[in-house]
Amino acid sequence: MTDNQNNRRESDLSAIMVIFGGTGDLTNRKLMPALYNLVLDKLLPEHFAVVAVGRRDKTREEYLNDIYASINKFSRNKIDDSIWLQLKEKIHYYQFDFTEMNGYTGLNEFLNSLDKKAHTGGNRVFYLAVAPEYFETIVQGLQNSNMAKKQGSWSRLIIEKPFGKDLITARNLNNKLLEVFEESSIYRIDHYLGKEMIQNIMVLRFCNSIFESIWNNKFIDNIQISLTEKLGVGTRGGYYEHSGAMRDMIQNHIIQILSLVAMEPPINLKTDSIRTEKQKVLEAIEDITPEFLKNNVVFGQYGPGIIDGNPVPGYREELNVPKDSSTETFVALKLHINNFRWAGTPFYIRTGKRLGKSSAEIVVQFKDLPNILYFKDQEIQEPNLLVLRIQPNVGVFFQFNTKDFSTHNGIVPTKMDTSSFSPTQGNTPEAYERLIYDILRGDATLFSRWDEVEAAWMIADRLIQYREQKRSQFPNYDAGTMGPIRAFELLAKDGRKWWHV
């Protein structure tokens, strides 16, 4: 690479990242540790600055002390003071109530003066690490102060989920954003898409003929996507009452994973080509009618129970949760994708809180062989399984059958497993590190395009409306179990079961 190319690449990455909500939990737990590790890995440009916007009265030194403590607590790598010094010089604190429109002019002047010192070329990343109700307010402030667009530089808007609370509010929010920013400049973050194994789904499929050649309804019996948590809602009861498992997990994380697992090969690895194939999957999901919902969806809410030997309260006993709450903390769902690749192959989805284990994984169960040859008598045929482990273990598990060498003619399932905790694979980067780096590079592949968000809400809205119309007998599962009995019956009636590998 020539010096001119290096200089051009550096100028493309150079920017000021403005974090609204600079004293909040997301900034302290995720964003600042991610920035620290990007400095450690030499992935942040030299000409880069961070402006943390907060309402609290703090000096820059006080703020830096708080951030140092957060990085020390939450970083995946032990803090190195020489690396911290490099990041520290880039961080600035700006006290400002972002609900006050007259304050944006002062922020703009501060950023312009910082541009001259940091040589960031006027490029901006506006990261809204705030509650969703403030998204429109901040974007309006950026527009009024002429910060959204600058001649000869770029600006990118980063927003965290949830993107609205239903299809109508999501469309209204999107229209407001598009009045100020172009679609290509809006980065809707779903941190699950930054996880290593989620990115690895496409690599496993499209770099291995052994998988892609059989990745269809001729060879796959069913696919299961499970995102389960031992934790309850904790202090987030107020938020969760307006969210539930549908809005918190299904509408974004799980539907995004589903589209990656089921998509057709893109024509190239460009952002829009990948997003287009994901969108086609969502459009091919079978019609979600009331009759379909009656037979294919299960809602649950946890009651008191035992987790790791300790008693825990039920959802209705959590802080800020009504005693008669009908909010779901568990969803199990069966879907079909009606295209040539997947017609007839069910996709089973489940997610919930206060379950028996915390994990995120995709299980691909391949079809059984005919009951002849080795299986014609009494041998029990264990299916071939491919398991993509997203967390807490990150890796690929494969189960296949082989001879039992301790007997004359026995058949046993053999397991091949990989894990990110293996010393040979090192310490896996956190999702936000990858996502921030992609934002600076202008790579939106791992971010949601509006039509994906819209299609996901069309699916989720029908499920939410059905849940709100039906009377559920909650709570219907004990904390520490794997959900309501009906979630197991959902698969049992098809002659299948949830896999615990």
Which residues are part of a known binding site for substrate? 191, 195, 229, 248, 353
Known active-site residue 253: yes
Reported in sequence order, the residue ranges of 47-185 that DSSP labels E, i.e. its strands, are: 48-54, 91-95, 124-128, 155-160
Which of 47, 253, 336, 500 is an active site residue?
A: 253
Angle (CA) 68-74-78 rounded to 5° is 75
What is the full DSSP assignment across 330-382? EEEEEEEB-STTTTT-EEEEEEESS-S--EEEEEEEEPPPPS-GGGSSS---P
The amino acid that residue 336 corresponds to is H
In this structure, the number of other CB atoms found within 10 A of the CB of residue 153 comes to: 15
Cα 166 from chain centroid (whole Å):
18
Which of 347, 305, 294 has the alpha carbon at shortest distance from 329?
305
Pairwise CA distance, residues 500 & 239, whole Å: 30
Which of 182, 184, 124 has the alpha carbon at shortest distance from 155?
124
The sheet carrying 91-95 orders its strands as 91-95, 48-54, 15-20, 124-128, 155-160, 186-189
Residue 499 in contact with residue 382, Cβ under 8 Å?
no
Q: What CA dihedral angle connects 14, 118, 73 and 432, to 10 degrees?
A: -10
Element (H, E) at 428: none
Angle (CA) 93-95-101 rounded to 5° is 130
Which of 95, 100, 92 has the alpha carbon at shortest distance from 144?
100
Spatial neighbors of 408 by CB under 8 A, at least 6 apart, are none
SS3 221: strand
Residues annotated in the binding site, as ranges? 55, 97-98, 161, 191, 195, 229, 248, 353
Residue 402 in contact with residue 414, Cβ under 8 Å?
yes
Compute the half-sphere exposure of residue 322: CA atoms within 13 Å on the CB side of its CA: 8
Spatial neighbors of 326 by CB under 8 A, at least 6 apart, are 301, 472, 474
Cα 100 from chain centroid (whole Å):
32
Active site (catalytic) residues: 253
